[in-house]
Amino acid sequence: MTKLDFVLVILVLTNMFLTVVLLYRFLRKSPRKKPVFISLLSVFFLSVLILYPYRHRIRKRVNNVAQHMPFRLFKNHHCNCERSSLPRDDYRTKHRPMAIRATGNGYIKTAGILNKFLRRKKLVEVRENDGYWIPYLTHSSRHLTPTANKRLLELGQRFRSSLKETENKTDYFVVSSITRTQDQQKDLAKRDPGATKDKSTHSFGVSFDISEVRSKASCKKGMDALKKILLEMREEGKILLCPENDCVHVTVIR
């Protein structure tokens, strides 16, 4: 459970409890209406105050839930990444050697090593930001090296900035996988024949996958913007690219 999920659960439970208590007092003990109204209004404004900093992430999550409903509350296109539309940097000769050099061979074999790297600040928590969203991850965790996290933030900011004057200004891309331990990688390889069987760059904390762009407007415009920024950052020597069947694998160089 993320920090946002925890805050939302606490707020919902608190609001439910206070509402029940106040309604009970109103119906059973017949208090004056004004104090009850003021109490409910206070709870509402307190909730708004707490949730306001998370408004962008809440909107994205609401949109994501709406996509899986029988009826669509919001028009939100799923624009899948196209495998052949981006250049491919060879995984074995470029991505993996770069991951080893960038981390001093900091291979994350176990959850214990991951936690040790977190304590030593070799890894940091990845948080959602304008331009990208991270769904619930089943085979990886929300952690990257500080440099890789910085590049993901940059990618999201440049992507959103390139669309700010267009109908696609609220588009965001989905980060579907981040850092995996060796065990998580092996488990994934059993389920997905296309997954890396040996050491993955995901197990060095310098890689993440982008699976799609979510858009309320034009898929083409959103995807073109993402490809443009990916290519620019590749040419600037900041990232390596490896288009896969259902995502774009990104490894951070520096």
What are the pLDDT digits (tens) for 191-241? 776 667 678 999 999 999 999 999 888 888 999 999 999 999 999 999 999
The three-state secondary structure class of 140 is coil
Short-list 107, 100, 137, 136, CA closest to 123 = 107
> What digits encode the pLDDT tens for the residues 55-95?
666 666 665 555 444 434 445 677 877 656 789 999 999 99
182-194 in b/e form (b: 16+ CB < 10 A) is bebbeebbeeeee
The answer, yes or no, to whether residue 186 has pLDDT greater than 80, is: yes
> With a threshold of 0.85, does the pTM exceed it?
no
59 within 8 A of 193, measured Cβ to Cβ: no
> What CATH architecture does domain 78-252 belong to?
2-Layer Sandwich (3.30)
Cα separation, 186 vs 204, whole angstroms = 15
Classify burial at 92, counting beta carbons within 10 Å of its beta carbon; exposed 0-12, middle 13-18, buried 19 or more: exposed
Domain coordinates of the chain in residue numbers? 3-74, 78-252
